[in-house]
Each structure stands twice: as C-alpha cells, then as structure tokens.
Amino acid sequence: MALKVAIVGRPNVGKSTLFNRLVGKRLALVDDRPGVTRDRRYAEGNIGDMDLTLIDTAGYEDVTDESLEARMREQTEAALEDADLILFMMDAREGVTALDRIFAERLRHQHKPVILLANKSESRESGGGIGEAYALGFGEPVAISAEHGEGMADLYAAIVAGSADIFIEELDEPDKPIRIAIIGRPNAGKSTLINRLIGEDRMLTGPEAGITRDSISVDWEYEGHNIRLVDTAGMRRKARVQEKLEKLSVADTIRAITFAEVVVLVMDKDDAFDTQDLQLADLVEREGRALVYVAAKWDLETEPQSRLAKLQQMAEDKLPQLRGSPFVALSSHSGRGVERLMPAVLQAHATWSVKVKTKDLNTWLSLATQRHPPPAVDGKRIKPKYMAQTKARPPTFVLMASRAEAMPEQYKRYLINNLRESFDLPGTPIRLIVKSGSENPYAPGGAKSGPERYKGDAKTAPRRVIKKAEREDRLSNLPGKALEQKKAGKGKSKPLSGLKASANKKAGSSVAVQKGARGGARQVSRSGRVRTGQKHAPKK
C-alpha cells in the first residue's frame, strides 16, 4: 500500500497543480480563479522511487455555517484524517496570510508529520514570503514551483524524512474494478446517489446546481465485486456552456464516459428523456458502453406504476438502438429502490461482455436469412456466407457476404435486432461489420499475393521468322573477309566415297582409317584428304 499524502492549504495556492505533477496527468481542473476544487480527489502518483496515494483537497475556508464553503471545509478535514502525511502549501509571492495562520493552528492538532511548501518560488519576489513561512512553526519551508517542476528533489528528501516513522501495510493487489460512470444533467442527484450507495457522505452535495466540477472516482466493494464509481459534472446543452471552467468540466465528463464500462444515466422523473438526456444516451451508445437508465426523486411520484410504464415506452421509442436497457426508478434521498440499481448494473456489464460461439452464430445466420432473405440490389442478390464474433465489450460481429458494400442499412438493423433477441443481448451496443468474401487473397494485389516479379519477354514474345531476303541483306552488310568466310562455309564438303559413317574414333584423335584397294591402311583426315608421309612410302 502506498503512502497517503494530503495536499492542503488556502484557496488558489497551487494544490491541484502539484497534484497533477505528482500524478503525471492533468486529472484535476486548474484555473486562475480560487475555489475551483470542491471535492477531495484520490489518485496514484510517485516522486522519485516512492509510490504515493495523493489526495487533492479544496481550499480551506474558516466558515462553519451551512454554506457551500463550510461543506468544502468538511471534505478537507476528512482528507486530513485519512492521510498519513500532510503537505501544507502557502503562496511565497503573497507571503503568510491570516488564513494561513488559522489553518496552521488547525494542523498542529493533527499529530501527523506536516511538510511546509512555499509554492511559486521561481521568481525573486518570493524571497520575502519564504522568510515569513518560518513563523508558521513547521520548520524550514521547502521552496518549490509546482507549475515549472522546480524543487522536486528537495520535496522528495522532505517526504522521505517525514515518512521514516510511518508504517505502510503491504496489501495484495485487488482485481480490476468495474468502472461505472454516473452522468446526467446538473442537479439530477448524481452525487447523492453515490453517497447513498457507499453509505457515507463522500461527495459534496447540496441544493445548488453544478456543485461537482471534477470527475471524482470512489473505490467500493459490492458483494465481492470491486467497483469504481465515477461522479461527473452535470452536462448542459452545448449552447449554454460559455465559461471556460464549465467547458473543462464537460470535457472531463466525456473522458469519464470513454473510460467507463457501464454508464448510469440519472434523470429527473418530471422531465426525463429531454433533448439533453437523449444526446447523452446517444453519446454512450456511440462510445460502445453499457447503459442503465435511472429515474431519480421517485419518492415524490404520485402514480409510480403508470409513470414507470410511460417512461419505459419513451425509452423504447426514442432510443431504439438501445432497446432493452435496464430501467430503475429510485430515490437517493430516502433510499427507495436503490437496492435494485447494482443488480441491474452487473447484469448490463455481463451482457456487454458476452461472447457467442461461431457455430451458433452461423446457425442463426442461416435461419435469419431464410426467414428474411437479403434484398436484390441492381438485380443482383446479396449472399451472406458466414459470421463470427471478433471481440466483446461491446459485442462486435463480422459478416462475410458477397457485394457487402451494397447491403442496405435497413437489413443491417434487421440483423442486429434479430441478433439481440435471439442471443438475449438487451440494451448493449452491438457492432456489425459487413465485409466482402469474394476477393481472392492470392490474386495480384491481394493480401497474400506478395511483390510482383518481372518475368521478361522471352516466354511471351512471338517467335520471329527471318526470311531469306533479309538473311541475304544481312550478309551483304558484312566486311569483305567475313563475307568470303561466310560464303565459303555455306557449302559443306562431302566425305570421300567409301568412308564409313560408323568409323571408330579414338579419344583426342581427329583421324579416320580407310582401307585401300590392296588392303593397306591409309590415314584419312576428317576433311577427306589422304595424309601421305615418307614413313609409309613403298620400297622400290
């Protein structure tokens, strides 16, 4: 288990900036205005070779009434109780303020190691503020610049020294949790629902709209399943989002949907399936995530049965691509119907992760095409061949068919709806990819054809016949001596009469033997001339 470190201080001193630097990602929203962070956020980070569990907190305000700032202070105090080591940050440019002294007095009662950080120390104006920090009573301040990454080595040395006496228990790594994102419009009751599920006031709630700004994740265990709940900021219509901070919150919510596995869409029962709700559900389907509908504030409904039937019919009519998604009506304030949410979420996750055997798919494909054959486009019929599932989460299928590019969208929707009903896949997004299976992969230009080699013209060029007149013309162009030799070799010399064609030849010898009329042997060359010599001359 990593060392838990809480980053605390008054508003707008750079706590979220240091949090993002140690985590290595821009998780927390950062802006020049004070009070951007409201909830406490947990994330895994490191500095040097030390693993840390970092806690980003809201700016400390010295108020105890029922205001939003007082509730933010309660979140900061909860982080102080949960942390093993505290990083107390102050602004070196502005120096020590009255609120810094009040918060320092509060930290002295924690009985936990406190490291004083003087942030924004990259300029010369910060020298006086660093000197004033000694008056807070936490020893020598560590001068850092969270924005530029200066002083991280000194911070590492201070954390090592401050955590020397802290015992860190080693725990086994938990299984990968199921990521569940809670989305909806502002003031729909998303944070209240998470607090009701986990049984504690973990999220900051209230009657004000738009309290949640960051996407806050909470790890939780439900009946042996590791769950990671992600609370997101409310999303209004795009035309109404004008401020920079709200744009950052919306982008953070969209990122939470992208990384989620199951998305719970929380809607107000009175105006459920408004235009914004439909757009959010369509975004979830395009991202390929499992979806669960939640109608909140159900304890205020006077006719629950008829209203629930009406809402379910609206879901079927307005979102046919998500037909069969679970629908849960509950009240986060009173807890009515909350126990039905997690079974619906787990069922949606199981359906989203389903895998279908190829044999069953092709049996179904044969029956589906017999019941409703593909239409003929331009007088030619489309012939489905076979089908297979390539991946799950969401279920993705590939259909091989002839003339795949001509298959109408209406027939694809028929196959998807039939597939959903036949294999019991309600609500989950289904991807169907139609490919043409008529291409030969070994043909030139195919996937397995390889580089084309040049074979030359020898085998394919027609044989050229040289005519006699052309041959004579070529001979006339030769030089004089070559022409004479060519003409001389044109007529072949005939062998002498009586020369046997089957005369014996000795290896390396060019002489044939011819018997004379008197029985004497004469040497005859291959050209037919008789060789004469003094050695064989007759005696007188």
Digit-coded pLDDT (tens) for 378-403: 888 888 988 999 999 999 999 999 88
Mean pLDDT of 508-536: 50
- The backbone torsions φ and ψ at residue 222, rounded to the nearest 5 degrees and listed phi first, read -130, 110
| Annotated binding residue 540 | no
- Position 92 pLDDT exceeds 80: yes
CB 47 within 8 A of CB 25: no
Instruction: Show the tokens assigned to 450.
Output: 């390889």
Please report the pLDDT score of residue 174 as a whole number.
Answer: 62
| Annotated binding residue 234 | yes
| Annotated binding residue 187 | yes
Q: Which residue has the higher pLDDT, 262 or 512?
A: 262
| Annotated binding residue 59 | yes
β-pair partners for 400: 386, 435
How far apart are alpha carbons 197 and 177 in whole angstroms? 16
Digit-coded pLDDT (tens) for 237-269: 776 676 777 888 888 899 999 999 999 999 998
Mean pLDDT of 429-436: 91
Alpha-carbon distances, residue 136 vs 93, 131, 140 (angstroms): 16, 10, 10
Distance of CA 284 to the CA centre of its chain: 16
- Residue spans in the chain of domains classed CATH 3.40.50.300: 3-29+38-168, 178-353
| Annotated binding residue 210 | no
Digit-coded pLDDT (tens) for 357-368: 999 999 999 999
| Annotated binding residue 190 | yes
| Annotated binding residue 56 | yes
Digit-coded pLDDT (tens) for 325-352: 999 999 998 899 999 999 999 999 999 9
What does the chain come to in residues? 540
How far apart are alpha carbons 496 and 121 in whole angstroms? 120
- Position 213 pLDDT exceeds 50: yes
Confidence of residue 110 (pLDDT cuts 50, 70, 90): confident
Q: Is the pTM of this model over 0.75?
A: no
| Annotated binding residue 57 | yes
- Residue spans in the chain of domains classed CATH 3.30.300.20: 358-436
- Position 507 pLDDT exceeds 80: no
Please report the pLDDT score of residue 513 as a whole number.
Answer: 46
Mean pLDDT of 405-431: 92
Which residue's entry shows tokens 């953070």?
Answer: 252
How far apart are alpha carbons 17 and 15 in whole angstroms? 5
Q: Which CATH number describes the domain made up of 178-353?
A: 3.40.50.300
- Position 235 pLDDT exceeds 60: yes
- The backbone torsions φ and ψ at residue 517, rounded to the nearest 5 degrees and listed phi first, read -70, -35
CB 89 within 8 A of CB 56: no
- Position 32 pLDDT exceeds 70: yes
Please report the pLDDT score of residue 504 as a whole number.
Answer: 46
Mean pLDDT of 120-148: 85
- Position 15 pLDDT exceeds 90: yes
| Annotated binding residue 186 | yes
| Annotated binding residue 188 | yes
Phi-psi region of 535 (alpha: psi -120 to 50; beta: other; left: phi over 0): alpha
| Annotated binding residue 297 | no
Mean pLDDT of 287-314: 92
Which DSSP letter does residue 2 get? P
Please report the pLDDT score of residue 403 as a whole number.
Answer: 87
CB 198 within 8 A of CB 342: no
How far apart are alpha carbons 211 and 509 in whole angstroms? 115
| Annotated binding residue 532 | no
- Position 475 pLDDT exceeds 90: no
CB 213 within 8 A of CB 233: yes
- Position 515 pLDDT exceeds 70: no
Instruction: Show the tokens assigned to 280.
Output: 């959010």
**Beta pairing, strands 376-377 & 380-381:** antiparallel
Q: Which residue has the higher pLDDT, 462 or 210?
A: 210
| Annotated binding residue 235 | yes
| Annotated binding residue 362 | no
| Domain 3-29+38-168: which CATH number of 3.40.50.300, 3.30.930.10, 3.90.1640.10, 3.40.50.920 | 3.40.50.300
Going by C-alpha positions, the residue among 444, 446, 387, 445 that lies closest to residue 419 is: 387
- The backbone torsions φ and ψ at residue 361, rounded to the nearest 5 degrees and listed phi first, read -65, -45
CB 333 within 8 A of CB 266: no
| Annotated binding residue 450 | no
Going by C-alpha positions, the residue among 268, 83, 227 that lies closest to residue 166 is: 83
| Annotated binding residue 244 | no
| Annotated binding residue 202 | no
Residue 393: how many CA atoms within 13 Å on its side-chain side?
10
| Annotated binding residue 435 | no
Q: Which CATH number describes the domain made up of 358-436?
A: 3.30.300.20
CB 514 within 8 A of CB 524: yes
Please report the pLDDT score of residue 35 as a whole number.
Answer: 78
Please report the pLDDT score of residue 242 as a whole number.
Answer: 67
| Annotated binding residue 104 | no
Stretch among 73-77, 251-255, 287-291, 460-464 having the lowest mean pLDDT: 460-464
| Annotated binding residue 214 | no
